[in-house]
Structure 1
Amino acid sequence: MSSSVHTNMGAMVALQNLNKTNRELEGIQTRINTGFKISEARDNGAVYNIAQQQRSEDSTYDAVRTSLNRAKSIADVALAAGAQISDIFAQMRQKAVAASDTSITAVSRAAYNNEFIQLRDQIASVIANASFDEANALNGGDATPATKYDFLANSTGTLTVALPIIDLRLTTGAGGTPASPATDVYLGTTDVLDTAANSALVRDRLVASLEYVNTEIARLAASAKRIENHELFVSKLQDSIKGGIGYLVDADLAVESARLQATQVKQQLGTQALSIANQAPQAILSLFRN
């Protein structure tokens, strides 16, 4: 190799190696700082694309879980109110049975009737307050009759899970047979327990009404349980997606720590090698000494 003060091949090679080491060190520091081995598309375009798609999927499932959690809240409120209504019907039945006793006085029957009316009128109040986010699953859809609420079940919005809308409102029919739905305790008069005979009719209506109420609450509870299970599934699915993304892009910091130590040593050696190579032209001076 010729000696030249213009071209120092040793220094150029040493500089190339040092620059390569510096780039490696920069990459290691980026992975340590971000915690990702692939933090941008230039690191690995194909894997970055997959990771971004899965991040979008995971983010979309957040909306699904929000919808399902809203469904659970609506169901919880409705079930709490439904249980209260069932208890009220049971108490109303107790009053009707007591008032159907032919041996009691008119004063006693009037007392039972007063308690019965108070309980009866409480049902409308309970139903009216059984709303969550303006959704009420006990009023039959009210002004806009509907049979169910549909909630998101997948990330594309093509699947839904339903919560039925039941109707526990009292009807105001008249006669000996309960109306459909069977929540009819009226006989066309205000004082429904005014006689032993009327009390017996109301008592029989309440048997059917209570059976209907409990059956409908059970149907609502079954759907609520399904929604709860689906929300749990979506939660586990999100965990799996996050885990999959982690396998693709997360950096192994233990490995990166070892690489950092080794690369720092390479950087120090590269710097020293460049320094030595830069001193090579100094040897040319010895050729011109006397």
Structure 2
Amino acid sequence: MATINTNAGAMVALQSLNRTNRDLETVQARINTGLAVGSAKDNGGVYAIAQSMRADVRSYVAVAQSLDLSASTVDVALAGGEAISDTLVEMKEKALAASDTSLDQASRDALNEDFKALRDQVGKIVETAEFNGTNLIDGSKSQIAALASASGSSSITIAAEDLSQGGAVVTLSATASFASAGEASTLVATIETSLNNLNGSLARLGTGSKSLGVHKAFIGKLSDALETGIGNLVDADLAKESAHLQSLQVKQQLGVQALSIANATPSTVLGYFR
């Protein structure tokens, strides 16, 4: 039926063209952003899951930073402990030489001066082995704890090692010196005990440093896996979207032509009256 009041063909063509235009906008947005799900209106469920995973990824950044901070603190403590060990070895050498009963007093006194200088150096090492305000070897801390999970509910704890002179590890006192072969011999034994104790402290700190490094590597892999998972959920397939875009552009052109034809239909009614 020919009519000028209602153009059903034009209405259908317009609806089809509007759908095509909406689809075209969606595809163009996916290509521009690289995301198939860029907001909750695209897919509420997937968007919520992706946002939760993004929050975990951000949290793992904080965990990695905490692990790095603790690792640096432990590494400084290790460096200090190793320097103390090297210094004690030199002190033992001086004391052992001074324990020789055939040595003259002037030579022994000279060795004692060297010994005291090294002794004082141990104290300076303990005082300066600090990172970001934390010193693990001067007795001021009992432990440090690094974040281990995105929820913050678990941590990795590294015990401090008090390497202060006259303590449980470095039993050699901060005022130790010798004036005789016998005193020097006694200090040799004390230094040997300190070195043995120190080896245990260094081993524990080394184990702690390694555990922090291993966990950081795990956190990195976990974060990468989450990033990949997020991509699988929300990333657009650009090759597919590009092909879809070309298809919709052709469909849009055809829709415009169909609408033009439908709009021209009422004018044919005039031909009936000529």
Once the two structures are superposed, residues 160-192 of structure 1 have per-residue CA deviations (whole angstroms, 9 ceiling, x without a partner) of 101110011101xxxxxxxx5142224x9x572
Distance in 2, Cα, partners of 1:78 & 1:26:
59
Task: Tell me, yes or no, if structure 1 residue 227 matches structure 2 residue 212.
Answer: yes
Residue number in structure 2 paired with 1:10:
9
* AA at the equivalent of 1:151: A
Q: Which structure shows the higher helix fraction?
A: 2
Task: Tell me, yes or no, if structure 1 residue 244 matches structure 2 residue 239.
Answer: no
Does the 8 Å contact 1:4/1:281 carry over to 2? Answer: yes
Aligned-pair CA distance for 1:149: 1.0
Does the 8 Å contact 2:77/2:136 carry over to 1? Answer: yes
- Structure 1: gaps spanning 5 or more residues: 172-179
Distance in 1, Cα, partners of 2:72 & 2:172:
30
Does the 8 Å contact 1:127/1:138 carry over to 2? Answer: yes
Q: 1:94-243 residue pairs with structure 2 within 5 A?
A: 94-140=93-139, 142=140, 146-171=141-166, 181-186=168-173, 192-243=177-228
* AA at the equivalent of 1:167: D
RMSD after superposition = 1.3
Distance in 1, Cα, partners of 2:177 & 2:76:
30
Distance in 2, Cα, partners of 1:123 & 1:216:
15
Task: Tell me, yes or no, if structure 1 residue 53 matches structure 2 residue 42.
Answer: no
* AA at the equivalent of 2:170: T
Secondary structure at the counterpart of residue 198 of structure 1? helix
Aligned-pair CA distance for 1:37: 0.1
User: Runs in 1 of length 4+ with deviation above 6 angstroms?
Assistant: none
Secondary structure at the counterpart of residue 145 of structure 2? strand
Secondary structure at the counterpart of residue 231 of structure 1? helix
- Between the two proteins, the alignment pairs up a number of residues equal to 274
- Structure 2: gaps spanning 5 or more residues: none
Secondary structure at the counterpart of residue 187 of structure 2? helix
Does the 8 Å contact 2:169/2:197 carry over to 1? Answer: yes
Report sequence identity in percent.
44
The correspondence for 2:255, drawn from 247, 270, 281, is 270
* AA at the equivalent of 2:149: N
Distance in 2, Cα, partners of 1:74 & 1:151:
11
TM-score between both structures, scaled by the size of structure 2: 0.97
Once the two structures are superposed, residues 177-229 of structure 1 have per-residue CA deviations (whole angstroms, 9 ceiling, x without a partner) of xxx5142224x9x5722110000000000000011111101111101100110
Does the 8 Å contact 2:119/2:176 carry over to 1? Answer: no
Distance in 2, Cα, partners of 1:71 & 1:191:
34
